[in-house]
């Protein structure tokens, strides 16, 4: 899907009653996960507005790193979309300012394996499907702020490998 098509699709979406509505959040201190430099909400983008995960994490199916989208991806929409509430407008202003000043936000990394572990994302997406994100990351499209829900410990990896009859040789995950 091209960006223009997706954008017009979003604008054309009727405010249908059955569409998921992300909650209004006034107090962010109770949210789990680290506070990011811009309050970017997955429950609004991936939940309410149904932007596919792969639109932003486009390399997840082809590389070991899913990647965090560049500001260019954001500005493709936010040049036009300024926000419907004062708090949205304030956060979106940060996106526009960052773009103008060429200062991309320094997103805090949430999931991180130690350097001696090898985790090829693309192999997992190929085997488990592009809808499998929630198996490991939980219901991200309902999260206002991303937090880690799986332990990411060795036992967690090996447990699923045993279930799926994947090799559990030490050298599969450790070089
Ligand atoms: C509009 C773009 C966009 C969409 C759509 C999107 N994401 Fe993200 N995602 C981001 C950005 C920006 C970050 C970094 C900031 C943050 O953590 O919220 C991020 C962070 C994450 C992280 C945490 C990364 C880390 O540091 O460990 C996960 C996991 C994730 N996204 C999964 C998903 C899943 C699953 C979907 C679909 C349900 C999705 N994302 C849809 C932009 C997007
Ligand atoms: C495909 C279009 C699209 C893309 C791409 C997109 N957004 Fe949005 N964004 C929206 C829409 C629609 C809203 C809801 C606006 C409203 O009603 O206030 C929104 C709302 C927001 C808000 C206010 C609500 C919130 O999430 O806290 C912020 C901040 C924001 N976007 C940041 C970003 C960032 C950062 C990126 C890039 C990583 C991004 N957006 C990419 C469409 C997009
Ligand atoms: C089998 C489990 C599993 C599945 C399925 C999975 N992930 Fe991950 N994801 C992980 C692990 C483990 C990490 C930490 C990897 C590391 O530190 O090397 C991670 C890290 C990430 C990150 C942060 C990496 C970065 O570059 O900052 C994002 C974003 C992400 N995943 C998105 C997704 C999306 C989107 C999907 C679905 C298309 C998905 N993941 C499916 C296990 C999974
Ligand atoms: C939800 C199930 C699941 C979880 C959790 C999971 N994996 Fe996997 N993993 C798979 C499947 C299925 C494959 C087989 C992919 C294929 O056949 O290409 C695989 C393949 C791999 C491979 C490639 C194996 C090869 O033969 O080359 C590596 C490396 C790997 N996983 C590492 C990890 C690590 C490290 C973790 C934990 C951080 C992990 N996996 C967690 C399901 C999982
Ligand atoms: C499916 C992937 C996978 C396989 C197979 C695997 N490991 Fe690991 N291992 C991990 C992950 C992920 C970590 C880091 C998280 C943790 O410490 O639990 C880890 C951590 C470790 C550590 C460090 C523990 C610590 O407390 O610091 C050792 C030692 C280790 N593995 C040895 C092994 C040996 C020996 C084998 C073969 C019998 C093996 N691993 C097979 C994924 C794997």
pTM of the model: 0.94
Residues enclosing ligand 2, CB less than 6 A? 6-7, 10, 38-41, 44-45, 49, 51, 69, 73-74, 76-78, 81, 83-85, 88, 91-92, 95
CA geometry: angle 49, 142, 119, nearest 5 deg: 105
85-137 tens-digit pLDDT: 999 999 999 999 999 999 999 999 999 999 999 999 999 999 999 999 999 99
Q: Are 44 and 22 in contact (CB under 8 A)?
A: yes
Work out the burial of residue 40: count CB atoms within 10 Å of its CB; fewer than 13 is exposed, 13-18 middle, 19 or more buried: buried
Confidence at 1, pLDDT banded by 50, 70, 90: very low
More confident residue, 26 or 101: 101
Report the candidate in 20, 74, 78 with the shortest Cα–Cα distance to residue 46. Answer: 20
């Amino acid at each position: 899907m091209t960006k223009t098509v997706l954008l017009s699709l979003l604008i054309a979406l009727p405010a249908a009653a059955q569409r998921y509505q992300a909650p209004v959040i006034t107090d962010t201190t109770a949210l789990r996960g680290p506070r990011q430099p811009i309050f970017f909400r997955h429950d609004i983008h991936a939940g309410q507005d149904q932007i596919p995960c792969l639109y932003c994490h486009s390399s997840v199916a082809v590389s070991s790193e899913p990647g965090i989208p560049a500001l260019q991806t954001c500005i493709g929409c936010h040049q036009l979309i300024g926000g419907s509430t004062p708090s949205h407008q304030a956060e979106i202003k940060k996106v526009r300012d960052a773009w103008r000043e060429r200062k991309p936000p320094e997103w805090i990394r949430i999931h991180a394996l130690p350097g001696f572990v090898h985790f090829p994302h693309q192999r997992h997406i190929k085997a488990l499907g592009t809808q499998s994100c929630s198996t490991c990351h939980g219901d991200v499209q309902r999260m206002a702020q991303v937090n880690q829900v799986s332990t990411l410990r060795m036992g967690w990896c090996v447990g699923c490998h045993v279930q799926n009859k994947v090799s559990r040789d030490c050298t599969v995950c450790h070089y």
